Amino acid sequence: MRVLYPGSFDPITLGHLDLIERSARLCGGVVVAVLQNPGKQPSFPLERRLEQIREATAHLSGVEVASFDGLTVHYARLCGARVILRGLRAMSDFEFELQIAHTNQSLEPEVETLFLATTTRHSFLSSSVVKEVARFGGDVGHMVPPGVARDLMRLFNRGNPHG
């Protein structure tokens, strides 16, 4: 089974990575796809986000990294995925995710949405929380892959205290 894991990944966090690792073990292949959303001004350009994901998933087999625009269900069909993977952290994610899943089901009944619950140690993580911490000089080493931590330091002009 091939699954599509779509998201903004602005940037990828250890929560995202945990989901990718677990789904790669469960499924035959995972396509991690960065949505080019014209309505959102990202902190990292698309190419940088793709590189961050490639670097963070280099140790995994069966993981592809791609980008797409338009509807997720259309892209799922294009890349031959019958399943869209999404992560659930808390009840607050649930309502929104359920609405998207129902919308996608109405558009493309053949494509299923699969939810994986986050591991508890990553349940507080989101791309925006990570950026907020980095912006004010907090340590994000336990929240994001090392390459992303460096990018965040650069983004917020924090330099690298570890050289």
Q: Which sequence positions are flagged as catalytic?
A: 16, 40, 89, 127
- One of 3, 4, 8, 57 touching ligand ADP (CB under 6 A): 8
Rounded to an integer, what distance in angstroms lies between the CA atom of residue 138 and that of residue 131?
Answer: 10
Nearer to ligand ADP, 57 or 163 (CB): 57
- Output the CA torsion 1→73→128→94 (10° steps): -80
End-to-end CA distance of the chain: 43
Q: Residue from 44, 86, 131, 144 that binds ligand ADP (CB under 6 A)?
A: 86
Q: Which of 3, 4, 16, 24 binds ligand ADP (CB under 6 A)?
A: 16
Binding mask 119-148 for ligand ADP (x = CB under 6 A): ---x--xxx---------------------
Interaction residues for ligand ADP, span 90-119 (CB under 6 A): 93, 118
Q: How far is CA 143 from the centre of its chain?
A: 13
Closest listed residue to residue 53, CA positions, set 117, 90, 5? 5
Q: How many residues does this entry show for the chain?
A: 163
Q: Is 49 in the site for ligand ADP (CB under 6 A)?
A: no
Which region holds residue 3: left if phi is over 0, alpha if psi is between -120 and 50, else beta?
beta
Using CB under 6 A, list all residues that contact ligand ADP.
7-9, 13, 15-16, 19, 86-87, 89, 93, 118, 122, 125-127
